[in-house]
Amino acid sequence: MNTMKAQYFISFSSLCLLFFLQFSLAQPSTQILSPEYEDLYTRISDNPQLVVDELLANPPNQPQSELAAQYHYILSEAYLSLVYPQQALEAANKALHLLPEKQPDSLYHALLITKAQALDLKNQSQEGLPLVKQALQWAESNHNQNMIINALVAQGYLEITLGNYITALEALLRAYHMAPHSGSTNSKSAIAGSVALVYEYRREDQLAIPYFQEAVDYQRQNNNQLELSIALYGLGRANKNIGKLETGQKQLQESLAISRAIGDDQGVAYALKELAPLYIKSEDFEQASLMLTEAARLFSGSQNKFMLLDIHSTLTQLYLKMDDKPKSLHHMKLAKKYLDADSMPVQAISLAELESEVKAQQGFYQQAYEQLKSTIHKKQQLMSKRSAQKLHELRVKFESETQAKENSILAKENAEQKLQLVKEEQQNQRLMMGIFAAVSLVFLLIFAVIYNKKQQAKLYQLANFDQLTGLFNRSHIMTLLKQIHARLKTNQSIHLVMLDLDNFKQINDQFGHDAGDQVLIQLGQLCQQHITAPNLAGRFGGEEFLLVLVDSNTDQVSKKIETLRIQAQHINTTIHPECPPIHFSAGLSECRYNQVITECIKCADLAMYQAKNSGRNRTVVSSLKL
Write out the catalytic residue numbers. Answer: 543
- CB atoms inside a 10 Å sphere around CB 283: 10
Question: What distance in Å separates the CA atoms of residue 54 and residue 48, rounded to the nearest whole number?
Answer: 10
Q: Could you tell me if 547 and 580 are in contact, meaning their C-beta atoms sit under 8 angstroms apart?
A: no
DSSP string, 79-146: HHHTT-HHHHHHHHHHHHHHS-SSS--HHHHHHHHHHHHHHHHTT-HHHHHHHHHHHHHHHHHTT-HH
The closest of 187, 241, 248, 250 to 219, measured between CA atoms, is 187
Question: What distance in Å separates the CA atoms of residue 328 and residue 285, rounded to the nearest whole number?
Answer: 13
Question: What distance in Å separates the CA atoms of residue 375 and residue 8, rounded to the nearest whole number?
Answer: 13
Instruction: Kindly tell me the sign of the dihedral angle through the C-alpha atoms of 69, 75, 81, 85.
Output: negative
End-to-end CA distance of the chain: 49
Question: What distance in Å separates the CA atoms of residue 93 and residue 109, rounded to the nearest whole number?
Answer: 12
Phi-psi category of residue 409: left, alpha or beta, with phi > 0 → left and psi -120 to 50 → alpha: alpha
Question: What distance in Å separates the CA atoms of residue 235 and residue 211, rounded to the nearest whole number?
Answer: 9
Task: Name the residue type at position 342.
Answer: D
Could you give the dihedral angle defined by the CA atoms of residues 429, 434, 439 and 441, in that order, rounded to the nearest 10 degrees? 140
Longest pairwise C-alpha distance within the chain: 107
Secondary-structure percent of the chain, ordered helix, strand, coil, rounded to 5: 75, 5, 20
Q: Could you tell me if 161 and 171 are in contact, meaning their C-beta atoms sit under 8 angstroms apart?
A: no
DSSP state of 61: S
- CB atoms inside a 10 Å sphere around CB 79: 28
- CB atoms inside a 10 Å sphere around CB 513: 11
Question: What distance in Å separates the CA atoms of residue 365 and residue 188, rounded to the nearest whole number?
Answer: 55
Residue 534's contacts (CB-CB under 8 Å, 6 or more residues apart) are 484, 550, 551
Q: Could you tell me if 74 and 254 are in contact, meaning their C-beta atoms sit under 8 angstroms apart?
A: no
